[in-house]
Structure 1
């Protein structure tokens, strides 16, 4: 009898333990399914609307980025806030129109930080929601508050505006200083060889592309004729820091490794990673693995390199079991440009490829190719494959991701269009002001209205129509995506309507 009682109690205990374990397992699974999603923004540099095969390119194949577009939501009316890099990045991270900040223009590598450290930012908002936050790649929003001491702690910077971790280049690949900065400290710096940077005058005895052209391996076209690093002439003057200087052909691999390392080491809690790649900005320096692969010169090669990098990064998310709980946003800071400072066969080997994808203009332009860019949202198992015509802007990620993560933000310009970003609605923005060199235009429904501006119609250095005319311009983009027919005179009613909207948004009359 005693033995039977023992057996019964053991059986009861085992059943209880098994039931409890299943209950705990069920609770744990439920808890994991309710975990806030990781958020990754993959941001390319000067990638045009027509540079991806998912967006109609036939001369270049980008299968890894296409997989995001075909497996998620591909926007046909996705916009950067500006036709140049610094303003777009400012709007992306702050949710504020860049024309509101006069300092939000293309910055020198030594420029001070243009985001106020007290200002609301996307990483700050997500930190409040329990996210770990990081940036890997291009920064170009300024560092420090005056003359930067590159040989000590560089502050304020990304860490002071919301990023827990930052591994960056200060500005762009074509500007000095040509070093990586890890949480405010130059990587690999020899204290006995301090860095000096100046954007006004050269250091005595230092070679430049003008004084020593024989030292260059890449020929400059305009502007890029100052200090020479790795045979490439740059914008600005730099002295010292030789041990810390990056190797251009390894940059894509280097940043990829840092991005992979970050997600592997931070996967236990929700993370936000702003992965700002350098391709296809000049100087275009593909790794030897990709040289000649496109048949279109370095510009085509670095786009193929970028596609490979995206594929490797997505593979890492999948291998780490993170893909189904990670929202990925892919886009570009502005439209395309071919010759932007160096002779690299971008024009000569273009062939049938159209980086603009049938649009008009390009980088620096108020016309559509300046700001309408590839824009993709991917979240495996959550976003259903679809193509959306909704008008969406990178600036709206702040308010929309606040909604996604369980909060709301009173922001100046960012709009909550989360349903559009997730493919649940084809309704995005009603109106959007786009910007190029502090000049603005209005996208409203199917229409684009550009006010009259004084200035040159073309940027002759890069051979791009910047959209400046002394008269009003009005285009119906649904009927005329290439913006060939100005309807301002033939449709005065629509023009008057859009002028009213524009003046309301800008808070001032058109002069």
Structure 2
């Protein structure tokens, strides 16, 4: 009789624990004076290649970022906040879909003419929030593909962000260093002259069009690697482009341009709950600070554009306050991956670095399986609702799907996104137990205090950018709480923990 009861008791206890665990990050609607508060506006501010140590609130001493610091001081600053990946396209895919990007073989750094990576049938963060009555918009960098192949840039481009859940979109197609160098609003190239049609090709140049190789005298920025194709505004790019002269952006005005669009969006949509994905381009190459910020950091263009981004965020927060919506706006701030200095241009990022450590004591950087590739600044701010706090909870941008869905009362059946709402709001100390991180299709495991990096074939150093990849033919095991810089590989001295994490990793990968 006892033997029969024990399994039932174990099953019951397991079930109760599972239910409690699932509800531990569930948050009931906020009620004040017997009246349920209106749904908060939600803003995701997403930087590009910003490192864990690039902000003064994360320990930087050579750069001061007072406006981002104010978010950290008034909200939750996460010490274990992650992008899903060490490169941009996969991280953006995870943020918007709640899915591990390594499950999609096409979720890699995309060229500017790639087809849309997200399926129009797929559940997305904007679609989830739209179900709760949110108006949704993206302003800034997209880099998730457009159209279904062979894009005609001279007609309305479909599918685009508008077909995967965004009511409004004002974007650059890929990155600032890739063609086409034009803004696209709701699928249409802005200021396009139909008599000067745009052509884009990533395999061969158009006859007679200058490139950085054939006409270096036309460049004002010197390329280091890869960026030697079409020249726009004196800057050599990746890919070839012809036409569209009236539509080409001004690089030094890009930050102001996107800021203005974000401010206008708030002013015109403040009457109803909105979701704004404000995807800034800094400090990705080419680093082109407005003249107001040139030389301001003393660290060259990379430092200057970080200060520029901080100023933009300050101006945006002012707009939220002036329009009377700051107190009911949840802001999530993060970066798509870790830092890189020389990512294709000679711009003094290495030479003028000085004592600044963009990695913040971590190892690796962009493109790397080491911590600095995916562990990034991560801040949540909601004036008067979030109490200032520093959290060691493991959280990932991929978890915004389930967490924000729970916040607004829409529970989506997503495979990989975890509901960490109470952790994100600073109400719970526990975040994820396990997280698979990715760099250029290789994956590793963060589990509790530990990081497991399996063996892979390949180079241990990305020599072009000067970053360790984390790739080797041996298992690597680190306790990243005791060894933040991942200097002591414990795989041989702690075989029990190694085998335990290998098993967890294999189960999660299945």
Shorter-normalised TM-score: what interval? over 0.9
Q: Is 1:48 matched with 2:51?
A: yes
Matches within 5 A, 1:102-501: 102-501=105-504
Deviation at 1:30, TM superposition (A): 6.9
What does residue range 81-100 of structure 1 map to in structure 2 within 5 Å? 81-100=84-103
Cα shift readout 1:243-291 (whole Å, capped 9, x = no counterpart): 0000000000000000000010001110000000000000000000000
CA RMSD of aligned residues (A): 0.9
SS of the residue corresponding to residue 307 of structure 2 reads: helix
| Deviation sequence 1:428-468 (CA, Å, 0-9, x none) | 00000000011100000000000000000000100100100
What residue in structure 1 maps to residue 19 of structure 2? none
Contact 2:176–2:285 (8 Å) recurs in 1: yes
Using the alignment, how far apart are the partners of 2:445 and 2:425 within structure 1?
25
Structure 1 residues 180, 84: closer, same or farther in 2, change over 3 A? same
Q: Distance in 2 between matches of 1:255 and 1:379?
A: 23
Q: Helix, strand or coil for the counterpart of 2:391?
A: strand
Give, in angstroms, the shift of residue 412 of structure 1: 1.1
Which residue is equivalent to 2:10? none
Q: Could you say what secondary structure the match of 1:54 adopts?
A: helix
Alpha-carbon distance in 1 for matches of 2:119, 2:239 = 25
Matches of 2:224 and 2:83, distance apart in 1: 27
Q: How many residues are matched?
A: 479
Q: Give the match for residue 20 of structure 1.
A: none
SS at match of 1:238: strand
Deviation at 1:407, TM superposition (A): 2.0
Gaps of 5+ in 2: 1-31
The list of structure 1 runs, each at least 4 consecutive aligned residues, that deviate by more than 2 angstroms after superposition, is 29-33
TM-score in terms of structure 1 length: 0.93
Distance (whole Å) between structure 1 residues aligned to residue 327 and residue 33 of structure 2:
15
**In structure 2, how many angstroms separate the alpha carbons of the residues matched to 1:426 and 1:46?**
27
- Is residue 393–residue 423 contact of structure 2 (8 Å, CA) maintained in 1? yes
Give the Cα–Cα distance (whole angstroms) in 2 for the partners of residues 134 and 201 of structure 1: 34
Equivalent residue number for residue 5 of structure 1: none
Question: In structure 2, what is the Cα distance between the partners aligned to 1:131 and 1:72?
Answer: 23
Query: Unaligned 5+ residue runs, structure 1?
Result: 1-28
Q: What is aligned with 1:67?
A: 70
